[in-house]
Amino acid sequence: MRLLMVGDIVGRPGRTAAHRLIPALRREHGVDFVVANAENAAGGIGITREIAVELLEQGGVDVVTLGNHAWAKREVYGYLDGEPRVLRPVNYPPGAPGHGHGLFQTPAGPVGVAVVQGRVFMEAIDDPFRAADAVLADLRRAAPIVLVDLHAEATSEKQAIGWYVDGRATAVLGTHTHVQTADERVLPNGTAYITDVGMTGPIDSVIGMSRETVLARFTTSVPTRFEVADGPARLCAVLVEADAGTGRALRIERIQVMSEGK
């Protein structure tokens, strides 16, 4: 089975790049299942129902994952409750809108997907290690293939969780920091790992945001409103090939593709 994980989609430039490139990548690589993180798809923060529907119905995406910005648009809460293909982090406390994991059927077999959010330099939510224990035990009963979107800030925490679940997940793929890392590998017990998949969004930016607005905050310490940058965009992703019977990853490959036009 071949799985494609698309890194954080940022604003309109990221959405345009995703819509243009994901269907082509599916065909080129014979992809069976696509997961895309879109927690920054709506103006750089959060997601709307309309954006999620476009990605799922027209953009070649099978599951949309979110992170700590899942709650940025309050009007989407009801949609999260009713749409199992859009996942927020599993380790928010009971009562949070939406679903943190799901089981999905494909022609190549079932796939489990979960989002786990870190705590270092982020919100003090439930323990991601214990959350990973629970969700992997649940999903592995139904599907040998399980992909984890690991949404976290600290590289050390991401690596620690990757080692912690090695052999229990097919892939642990980092999101949130928007810069693709070069440490992709298959861990000894068969889990594909990368610290960060990267960003799908404007390249002449600071992690997707306008350079001018970000530099103003850094140089003056005065709060400024960030805006999504304009200009050419790039899609960052990883391709994971796995044994559909055992769930073990066979290889992982980084992908970067420029999107032409606006």
Catalytic residues: 69
Main-chain phi, psi angles of 123, to 5 degrees: -60, 150
C-alpha pair distances (Å), 54 with each of 24, 62, 163, 234 = 16, 11, 35, 19
C-alpha pair distances (Å), 249 with each of 92, 179, 215, 235, 242 = 28, 23, 41, 23, 4
Residues 6+ apart with CB under 8 A from 3: 31, 32, 33, 34, 35, 111, 145, 147, 170, 171, 239, 240, 241, 242
Query: Is the CB of residue 1 less than 8 Å from the CB of residue 198?
Result: no
Main-chain phi, psi angles of 21, to 5 degrees: -100, -30
The two tokens of residue 54 are: 């476009």
